[in-house]
Structure 1
Amino acid sequence: MKVMIVVTHLLGSGHLARALILARAFQDAGHRATVVSGGMPVPVLDRGDVPIVQLPPVRSDGVNFTRLLDAKGASVDQAAQEARKAQLLHQIDRIGPDVLITELYPFGRRVLQSEFTALLQAADQTAEPPLICASVRDILAPPSSPAKADRTHGVLARYYDAVLVHADPHVTPLDASWPVSDGLRPKLHYTGFMAPTDAAPYRQGAGEGEIIVSAGGGDVGAHIFEATLRAARAARADGRLWRLLVGGAQPEARLRQLRENAPANVIIEATRPDFRALLHRAAASVSMCGYNTAIDILQAGCRSVFIPFDAGDEVEQTIRATALARLPGIEVLRSADLTGETLLNALRALRHAPDRGPALSGFDGARETVRIVAALRAQRA
């Protein structure tokens, strides 16, 4: 099968990370997969093993997802949006996919509705229309009104063959965050959680006994790093090393600023591709609670303090963190309660928590997605 995965991440990089995990799973099964990305490039995610077509990139204006900015921070005008749409339509002609997968849309990315609608219409009008699937994480941003949910359900009914939910329905059913209608329910296919495969065994090295602090791959999390520096400064006597991993499209300025105020027990560096290996060796993790990070921590069995991203009207990470807090070795701090002192108290509480151990099953969602999609495609043959 020829598979085309379309994704635009606007704030963090989790959507692109999942799209690439999925593309690799299709390739491993002998299919041809191409990722068409409309968000800002994230070099740390690009291993060179998956074809990535880059549209003129856009990002959100912070948590204002109704305003798009270009790579220079300027508002995206109509001409730029039309250029993106033209390139997207060119790619569906060039690739000629048997399967078209849209990451998050139509459950989100409504600001990009024009280009997604053009894409879906073009796919629908081909001589042999592809199987069309939506790919979504475990928890969605709930619709702000019944009308918005109805519009989403209308798009799904008109164009989509399936909705691939990368979750365990016994842990986080889609109903927990989205009103699943009678028309939508038959289209749902739960794949299990989706995690990358490990390239090599974890050996001793960086991260051993450290506190690993991260804030995803986007341009957020400054409050977490600031609180961490205060906590590390207060905890210098315990001899433990703190490692801050700073993401974003251009992290150099943030790195310089943080290093100016860092005590000697703190290492500050750019996000690393071996983040998962660091977690396996760490004493504890401090992070937000995005889908990919939460799975990494569960698989590593790492003690963790989650500070869910809750700016604006965001509730996804709070829902996920609250569910995970039932497990041993996990503490949750609201952003409004985060200080150096509260962070230290949370980390001290983790020392007395029972070991959770690595979670070893339930994360084969990428391969299960390939199996589901192949079966659905075969049914149409």
Structure 2
Amino acid sequence: MRSTALFWVQHLLGSGHLRRIAAIASALSRHGIQCVVASGGMPLSHLDLGAAELVQLPPVRAADAGFSGLVDHHASPVDDQLMAQRRDLLCELVADLAPEVVVTETFPFGRRQLRHEALALLDAADALAKPSLTVCSVRDILEQASKPERYEQMRAIAMGRYDRVMVHGDPRLVTFGDTFPFADALGERLVHTGYIAAPTVTVTDRDGPGSQEVIVSAGGGAVGLALLEAAAGARPLSAHASNLTWRLLTGDPSLASSFQLSGDGIVAEPNRADFALLLARCAVSVSQGGYNTITDIFNARARAVVVPYGGEGETEQTERATRLARQGSIIMLPEAELSPRSLGRAIDQAMALPHLSPGVIDLDGAERSAELLLQWMDDD
């Protein structure tokens, strides 16, 4: 009988958490392991799972960017009945699959709002005739905790309930201990895997869409809108890029029409499926500093301006962008300083950067994570 791995993941705003787990599950399934991904977030229309299977829990998402609460797919606050239904489905899944390994994404280093669900999953895995190996999958940088005691709670759960912790980052850039004060206490449980990136795109036609363009990509909402508006006004203010085409990818399709009259040389459109190709061909990328966005930039070896999201107490993007700027890989423009003039100046600075060299950061995290899981399953 094939070995089975069960992954639990909850994306609340963006889709990055689910896409990282999908990449690991896809890589592990290529080694002959049956992989099941239990997703508790809103369904995605395009998700590459390879041979892995997706089980959709009743979906919930964050009510707002401040994570003030959880809502269901009708935007109604979640109730105890829905959360109990999710827990029951997870426990039934564990009983049916008897997985050799259970992987929780982010928890216990985040997703505190879902701790009862995650702990119920771990309890079910421990109750099997042969208890599952338990592994946490967590990104490179933690958000700063609102209360210092939260870190101790994370440490206690990690040491008491988990066999391994996979940190999907490159310690040459940032170590887990840089944002988690008890990392040393985890000892050999903790392993850095490298970053999880989309497959590298081979560019055969350098003259296609995006060629020598300024590519501006932003998520939806007010924050993304501010970046797009600054970009729309920055083109004539740039000393070195005012003669280039600026392509604004709006994230929210309804925003695209807002920029159609912004002037010659500006193209505004919803996000494109060939985004990786646009980055590989571009003169400069302009974006926020989320995990997946940064790995896309390095995969494409693009020169980049990064405007990290810093609202609602968020620290992760600023921490990542600061370190990348310090090593000379990107130009960072703090969100508080964003304006058409400052953005035009930052793009001029980025134009002077060399294209990123391969291997600046380790992007082989998906395959490395799969190899580690295989090794730990063999050792168990």
TM-score, normalised to structure 1's length?
0.91
Aligned counterpart, 1:288: 288
Aligned counterpart, 1:77: 79
Contact 2:165 2:191 in 1 (8 A): yes
Partner letter of residue 347 of structure 1? I
1:303-344 deviations in Å (ceiling 9; x for gaps) = 111011111111111110010002445211111111111111
Aligned counterpart, 1:193: 195
Aligned counterpart, 1:318: 318
Q: How does 1:206-355 map to 2 (within 5 A)?
A: 206-216=209-219, 221-232=224-235, 238-247=242-251, 251-256=252-257, 258-259=258-259, 261-328=261-328, 330-355=330-355
Q: Distance in 1 between matches of 2:83 and 2:275?
A: 35
Gaps of 5+ in 1: none
Q: Distance in 1 between matches of 2:312 and 2:121?
A: 30
1:28-65 deviations in Å (ceiling 9; x for gaps) = 22222122111122323346754222222222122222
How far the C-alpha of 1:147 sits from its partner, in A, is: 1.9
Residues 200 and 91 (structure 1), Cα distance of their counterparts in 2 relative to 1, 3 Å cut: farther
Q: Distance in 1 between matches of 2:331 and 2:130?
A: 51
How far the C-alpha of 1:68 sits from its partner, in A, is: 0.8
Residues 158 and 63 (structure 1), Cα distance of their counterparts in 2 relative to 1, 3 Å cut: same
How far the C-alpha of 1:21 sits from its partner, in A, is: 1.0
Q: Distance in 1 between matches of 2:221 and 2:13?
A: 6
Secondary structure, aligned partner of 2:309: coil
Q: Distance in 2 between matches of 1:365 and 1:192?
A: 4
Q: Distance in 2 between matches of 1:24 and 1:329?
A: 30
Count of aligned pairs: 376
Aligned counterpart, 2:362: 362
Secondary structure, aligned partner of 2:96: helix
How far the C-alpha of 1:70 sits from its partner, in A, is: 2.1
Partner letter of residue 59 of structure 2? P
Matched, 1:155 2:157: yes
Provide the identity percentage. Answer: 38
Q: How does 1:78-97 map to 2 (within 5 A)?
A: 78-97=80-99
Secondary structure, aligned partner of 2:318: helix
Secondary structure, aligned partner of 1:221: helix
2:103 to 89, 101, 107: 101
How far the C-alpha of 1:253 sits from its partner, in A, is: 2.8
Which region of structure 1 is more displaced relative to structure 2, 338-347 or 39-48?
A: 39-48
Contact 2:11 2:40 in 1 (8 A): yes
Q: Distance in 2 between matches of 1:221 and 1:253?
A: 13
Which region of structure 1 is more displaced relative to structure 2, 75-84 or 107-116?
A: 75-84
Which region of structure 1 is more displaced relative to structure 2, 180-189 or 233-242?
A: 233-242
How far the C-alpha of 1:74 sits from its partner, in A, is: 2.2
Q: Distance in 2 between matches of 1:218 and 1:97?
A: 39
Residues 202 and 166 (structure 1), Cα distance of their counterparts in 2 relative to 1, 3 Å cut: farther
How far the C-alpha of 1:358 sits from its partner, in A, is: 4.1
Q: Distance in 1 between matches of 2:182 and 2:9?
A: 23
Q: Distance in 1 between matches of 2:16 and 2:146?
A: 23
Gaps of 5+ in 2: none
Q: Distance in 2 between matches of 1:354 and 1:379?
A: 44
1:157-185 deviations in Å (ceiling 9; x for gaps) = 22211000112223211011111255322
Residues 333 and 217 (structure 1), Cα distance of their counterparts in 2 relative to 1, 3 Å cut: same
CA RMSD of aligned residues (A): 2.4
Residues 279 and 12 (structure 1), Cα distance of their counterparts in 2 relative to 1, 3 Å cut: same
Partner letter of residue 24 of structure 1? S
Displacement over 4 Å in runs of 4+: 46-49, 199-202, 216-220, 233-237
